[in-house]
Amino acid sequence: MNEYADLLIIGAGPAGMAAALAAAPSGARIVMLDDNPLPGGQIWRDGPQANVPDQARRLRERLQSCSNIRHHAGTRVIASPGPKQLLVEDDEDGWLISYDKLILCTGARELLLPFPGWTLPGVTGAGGLQALIKAGVPVQGERVVIAGSGPLLLASAATAKKYGAQVQRIAEQASRTAVAGFAAQLPRWPAKWLQSFSLFDRHYRTATHVLAALGTDRLEGVRLQQQGKIVELECDRLACGFGLIPNIQLGQALGYAIEGQALAVDAWQASNRADHYAAGECTGFGGSELALVEGAIAGHAAVGDLEAARQLWPHRARWQGFAKALNQAFALDPQLKSLARFDTLVCRCEDVPYAALAGHTDWREAKLASRCGMGACQGRVCGGAVQHLFGWQPSAPRPPFSPARIETLMCLDDTPPA
């Protein structure tokens, strides 16, 4: 099966949804791909215990009402066999999609930094804990510690408490001064300011970070450095996330330029490649509000409605201000680079410890010598960690970008020669 799209959108989170809706009035044939069952991305994730906001429901209804938008759920990009062509796969089939314009809205993932005990059962990411709870994992009565950096810690704690968990501590690595300075700016964004009151928790501690997860066969406790003192707490779950990093792997493979850790775009959300755009957190973390307006700008620009895109620039600038304040306040303390010991695993898939990486000069050299990043996650976890620890930029992935069936790969035989 082959398919054609005037506009192909990869990712159906806030940015992807907004891009599709902005472009829809043009009458273009729009195809959206996402690996989740329903639009909404990670922030509006569904599940038996998920409480999807009204805003997400309204956007879904609008998407369903547009006859020129086709949404492929549970679908992954496997390869890019030719210019403006992707090989994709869902749970039943694999097929080729050709396109005229492309918008990447691939979002972000948690930065997980290695520390002693981080691979014990019971240790997850902060966002990972939210996802597990929404999927129906029971936490009633469990003692939970949440550590790392950023507002996601408070959101994760609120979700855990809602479903009966006992939150023992929220350990924020940023200083009290930094957090207070950020809080003082929140009235510039009234909705965020009001939300902050609902997320307040008396167990929140600044200048506090995890040192080790304790236990043998599973998590039994956590050791923290809390405002200069060592503290140990018994717990059943430790949720630890050090902010978000953009998902740029597909963009790298397609030849997008990289700026810092994100895909580089101009004022129209256009990349260095003609007819290729990007929006949302793959271009830098800034929250759902920024993702929505960036997606709308990209959608308008991709179908040639530049005036509609331009009118959204002030709105984008407002939320870029929020993103800048957020990222400055919760910048990671350099001492977090020393959490891992020599025997601490950095690459869980291939059992590669910190000691096997410390003597190398770049990602490629370390990968060839240790197999770091060559396991099932293809460097999605350890890649962010080594970038933070050593400053190495992970190389662009090679196809297949995700595990694929042989039948799907055989679709490449249908690709016309270049």
Dihedral sign of CA atoms 138, 142, 147, 151 in order? positive
C-alpha 143: how far from its chain's center? 26
Question: Residue 278 and residue 314: Cα distance in Å, rounded?
Answer: 19
pLDDT, averaged per 10 consecutive residues of the chain (418 residues), comes to 94 96 98 90 72 86 95 95 95 95 96 96 95 92 97 93 96 96 93 84 95 96 96 97 93 94 97 97 93 98 98 97 95 94 94 93 90 86 91 85 90 67
Domains and CATH numbers, the chain: 2-108+245-326 (3.50.50.60), 114-241 (3.50.50.60), 335-390 (no CATH)
pLDDT at residue 247 in the model: 94
Burial class of residue 223 in the structure, from the number of CB atoms within 10 Å of its CB (0-12 exposed, 13-18 middle, 19+ buried)? middle
Q: What is the predicted pLDDT for the residue at 418? A: 53
- Of residues 138, 139, 187, 191, the one with CA closest to residue 165: 139
Pairing, β 94-104 against β 85-89: antiparallel
At 129, list the tokens: 């804990």
Region of 57 please: left (phi>0), alpha (psi -120 to 50) or beta: alpha
Q: How far apart are CA 244 and CA 142, in angstroms?
A: 26
Name the H helices within 257-312.
Answer: 288-302, 306-311
pLDDT at 413: 76
Tokens 């040639």 — which residue?
A: 304
What is the spatial distance between Cα 390 and Cα 130, in angstroms, rounded to a whole number?
29
d(CA 246, CA 107): 6
Say if residues 159 and 130 touch (Cβ distance below 8 Å): yes
Q: What is the pLDDT of residue 415?
A: 61
Long-range CB pairs of 313-322, under 8 A, 24+ apart, other chains included: 313/267, 316/290, 318/189, 319/189, 319/286, 319/287, 319/289, 319/290, 319/293, 320/286, 320/290, 321/188, 322/188, 322/189, 322/192, 322/286, 322/287, 322/289, 322/290
pLDDT of residue 394: 81
The one-character DSSP state at 138 is -
Residue 87: HSE in the Cβ half-sphere, 13 Å Cα cutoff: 23
Q: What's the confidence (pLDDT) of residue 403? A: 85
Q: Give residue 38's pLDDT.
A: 83
